[in-house]
Amino acid sequence: MCRHVGWLGAPRSVASLLLEPAHALLVQSYAPRRQKHGLMNADGWGVGFFSPDVDGNAPCRWRSAAPLWGDASFASVAPALHSACIVGAVRSATVGMPIEPTASAPFTDGTWLLSHNGLVDRAVLPLSATAESTVDSALLAAHIFERGIDRLGDTVAEVGAADPGARLNILAANGSELVATTWGDTLSVLRTPDGVALASEPYDDDPAWQEVPDRHLVRSDGTRVDVTALKGTV
């Protein structure tokens, strides 16, 4: 199991989202509050963000196989990294899966960033030459990218039907939109005057956080938040 967080809105520092809040991903890497499976997330971390200084607005990424709490270099640089769209994740590796930087979310197709919180039987996923790793999350990300984010809800429902034990919480962003699913684990949304945050669990105790029901699709443009039930689940 893993934890992830996404932001879309006014530019903010990466540190302000991943490191500084009282219950940020940094804390969730060793003491998550709402994680249903596993006790910590020490098998890697990653962050991706969009910068207007990058040609084509392709996402920038920083990933590691080490625990987030032990990366002093990232902690020193993160306050200087600012973006209007950020996706971060900490990883708890599924038993038998490799621990390597390429196994840590967010994954990308060059346009989108994507994180998977959960697990899935790799046997129900097609082989992909574009997958960044052999881990289940990387194969799932490649499958989602190949089918298109616009079909995310259908893809998650179909994979969930093929593997009834799968947990398929997805969080994706492309710089102008956040898209997420709940399927077997927690997700909360926070609307603020500056933007919208989606997170596996709230990173602070703001009472404005709202829990997203299981088996739902979330879309946000940084202001509006639309939540709909996934196909075939109502």
Where in the sequence numbering do the catalytic residues fall? 2
Residue 84, Ramachandran bin (φ over 0: left; ψ between -120 and 50: alpha; else beta): alpha
What are the structure tokens assigned to 195, written together? 């933007």
Tokens at residue 219, please? Answer: 């879309």
Contact 79, 90 (CB under 8 A): no
Report the DSSP pairing between strands 45-49 and 107-108: unpaired
- In this structure, are residues 186 and 3 in contact, taking their beta carbons and an 8 Å threshold? no
Under a CB-based contact definition with an 8 Å cutoff, are residues 115 and 171 in contact? yes
